[in-house]
Structure 1
């Protein structure tokens, strides 16, 4: 059965059976595709002018990519392999953007061969590379947010306003087809007004291009809305801020055919996935208890490194209720490899656990298994595709048919730890 009352019910059911797993105590992921459907429904409600493009880098999971494209999302690919995955699940070429600012020539030629024409640039060198190898491509110029916003991403992979104007001129001189602007408002900034300035600058570039006889038709907004920790109220405020800036600078009566897209990965995948892992060792000491789990830093927790010294990226809960009178105790959670740095959480509070107990890790989809390695032969190999009854009640019949067509395939088994998923990397079985 792929329909469950809740993710926890699914996890309890699946943990009691080894179906699809090599060993009954192997860690596994649950993908609640109906949750992605709820998030998409919320997106359409709050941002009707903006078409989402799923950024596959966050979670390159074919069933999720397939579902989102069936529901009308575009797909954002950063490599040849991601392009393959998008095409394999049925995405149309015109619905794919090849968004890597720094592209290998071979990957650029591959996009050309597959007739994926929309791509990006942020400097003259990349522009001339495209001129040489794919002159008929449709191009978006990446515009940098104001200094200090989303530092590493914005500063490395975008041009400032004066550079952007110069690049538009060069594009015109080379006869290339720049069709719009791609902006990065800054996902790490909590200032709602951050959209105002960068969207205003984008409008200025639209107007500047018009003076050169160029007609821009696409505005691409790279914004990592956090589908998990971002409350509905917070999401509403952010989207209203974005909508207000768009209505001010790009009113529909002046830009009736403007294609507004937004690249986002975390929003659709983080809370869609839940990791279930098993306690394989226990050591008591003066500071508490050390537990070793059968999935760790090199499996599905690599994003703890992205948080620097903050190891509180993930939260864990016992899958099965512990008996009363079992208070929470301080503990540390380690991964299963022989590396002393394989630390999941330096400080946690959990009831007393025993070897063989299961922990449930919600909101574990973004930048987790996408960074899976083969170190010590550890990792997450098995994914169960489900829907939950509470979500199904909120979805229309067309959406449910798309969900059921994917979930009836059952369990996804990844055969290679250190590769992104492709259809040839996994087989489908029924749980």
Structure 2
């Protein structure tokens, strides 16, 4: 695995060679696995009570998953295919939480056959499905959580209210289903740390209720919502402190000595670890704006950020950019022949030529995970690297795991586009 001074330096080197790509101007991803390692180190130091289970839906990159597993993390899976990938990467059944509250019955049966026993429900119907098809499961009840200043509110689809949760706990006892704890999700990304303390307080109420009817809960799942980008570090530190304080207040080690506290960070581990490198394939200039067409777009890797209006902070940079060069109003299109493939209506870039490269840093969450390969476009090439600044922060255990994970610096993800 090659070490570079930065992802941008890696992009400059890799864009000048066709190694690993079919065509010299194909777009490609750079995965800085040492960034993932640095984020895991930060998590372990700031929240030592909480074992992270990587929500692989955010960025299902095999080397990243394998690294996290080697370092003691678990995996949050939402489907049979994700379970397969986790197992292929070396996960043990106890390393997997099947956290989808609405499971396909065949997937649930598959989880049972693979001895994946921890799963989630938020309705009577799902509880009865688990009772019928995976009766030995250890289940968590999904609780609705407040979503103040969070991008995606999930309460319309997922989670039980406090009163409903009490009913479901009683029903699970009646059915003989082993409800072992509570899970919640505050929305992602979350910019209000009080959402966590609010939810943890309500979880304690349900723990006490379960105890009052003769049940003992032993697991607390804090869900996701953690943003790992450098620009969000101050907000993240507040979240870490708030969670630790709430756990000390409501779930102290003295009162709950054997409590298994987990979380399901997804974007935290992958957002800043990945950079997308795209090529300018067409250009049209007018008096008002320069329009560029790139070989990635809204139907491909840039679907999620392109529709992310509230958190529209993603910006590309030219690999040849001169900081003193005047920038011009620009509009960016994707390569497909449909009208809404507009990546950015308005941005400012130096005057670029056809064939020049743009790098999109910190753009790994819910991007390549949603690529459609519509019309035959979309990259399947990932270059796995480390960077010097991150490597200096890591001890020998992390560095050895990075070497073990990916001795081949290129990962090819099978292109799902099929010619007729």
TM-score (norm 1): 0.93
Number of the residue aligned with 2:289? 288
Distance in 2 separating the partners of 1:384 and 1:321: 22
Say if 1:187 and 1:224, in contact at 8 Å, map to a contact too: yes
Number of the residue aligned with 1:388? 387
Alpha-carbon shift at residue 148 of structure 1 (Å): 6.5
Alpha-carbon shift at residue 7 of structure 1 (Å): 1.1
Distance in 1 separating the partners of 2:196 and 2:101: 22
**1:391-410, Cα deviation, whole Å (9 max, x unpaired):** 11110111111101223222
Larger mean CA deviation between 259-268 and 197-206 belongs to: 197-206
SS at match of 2:155: helix
Distance in 2 separating the partners of 1:242 and 1:207: 19
Alpha-carbon shift at residue 147 of structure 1 (Å): 7.6
Does structure 1 residue 221 correspond to structure 2 residue 203? no
Alpha-carbon shift at residue 154 of structure 1 (Å): 2.5
Relative to structure 1, the CA distance from residue 87 to residue 225 in structure 2 (aligned partners, 3 Å threshold; closer, same or farther) is same
SS at match of 1:408: coil
1:316-395 to 2 correspondence within 5 Å? 316-322=316-322, 326-395=325-394
Relative to structure 1, the CA distance from residue 318 to residue 98 in structure 2 (aligned partners, 3 Å threshold; closer, same or farther) is same
Say if 1:20 and 1:411, in contact at 8 Å, map to a contact too: yes
1:201-216 to 2 correspondence within 5 Å? 201-216=202-217
Distance in 1 separating the partners of 2:179 and 2:417: 36
Say if 2:185 and 2:225, in contact at 8 Å, map to a contact too: no
Say if 2:186 and 2:225, in contact at 8 Å, map to a contact too: no
SS at match of 1:131: helix
Relative to structure 1, the CA distance from residue 58 to residue 349 in structure 2 (aligned partners, 3 Å threshold; closer, same or farther) is same
Number of the residue aligned with 1:167? 168
Alpha-carbon shift at residue 59 of structure 1 (Å): 0.4
Number of the residue aligned with 2:144? 144
Does structure 1 residue 82 correspond to structure 2 residue 87? no
Say if 1:219 and 1:260, in contact at 8 Å, map to a contact too: yes
**1:34-56, Cα deviation, whole Å (9 max, x unpaired):** 00000011111111111111001
Number of the residue aligned with 1:425? none
Alpha-carbon shift at residue 186 of structure 1 (Å): 4.1
SS at match of 1:260: strand
Relative to structure 1, the CA distance from residue 189 to residue 35 in structure 2 (aligned partners, 3 Å threshold; closer, same or farther) is closer
Does structure 1 residue 179 correspond to structure 2 residue 180? yes
Distance in 2 separating the partners of 1:115 and 1:294: 43
Larger mean CA deviation between 154-163 and 81-90 belongs to: 154-163
Number of the residue aligned with 1:48? 48
The count of residues paired between Structure 1 and Structure 2 equals: 417
Relative to structure 1, the CA distance from residue 143 to residue 211 in structure 2 (aligned partners, 3 Å threshold; closer, same or farther) is same
Number of the residue aligned with 1:33? 33
Relative to structure 1, the CA distance from residue 30 to residue 146 in structure 2 (aligned partners, 3 Å threshold; closer, same or farther) is closer
Alpha-carbon shift at residue 352 of structure 1 (Å): 0.6
Number of the residue aligned with 2:415? 416
Number of the residue aligned with 1:400? 399
How big is the alpha-carbon RMSD for the aligned residues of Structure 1 and Structure 2?
A: 1.8
The unaligned stretches of length 5 or more in structure 2 are: none
Number of the residue aligned with 2:273? 272
Number of the residue aligned with 1:252? 253
Distance in 2 separating the partners of 1:360 and 1:188: 23
Relative to structure 1, the CA distance from residue 377 to residue 175 in structure 2 (aligned partners, 3 Å threshold; closer, same or farther) is same
Larger mean CA deviation between 192-201 and 66-75 belongs to: 192-201
Number of the residue aligned with 1:426? none
The unaligned stretches of length 5 or more in structure 1 are: 420-431
Distance in 2 separating the partners of 1:121 and 1:323: 52
Say if 1:2 and 1:407, in contact at 8 Å, map to a contact too: no
SS at match of 1:356: coil
Say if 1:278 and 1:356, in contact at 8 Å, map to a contact too: yes
Say if 1:314 and 1:361, in contact at 8 Å, map to a contact too: yes
Alpha-carbon shift at residue 365 of structure 1 (Å): 0.3
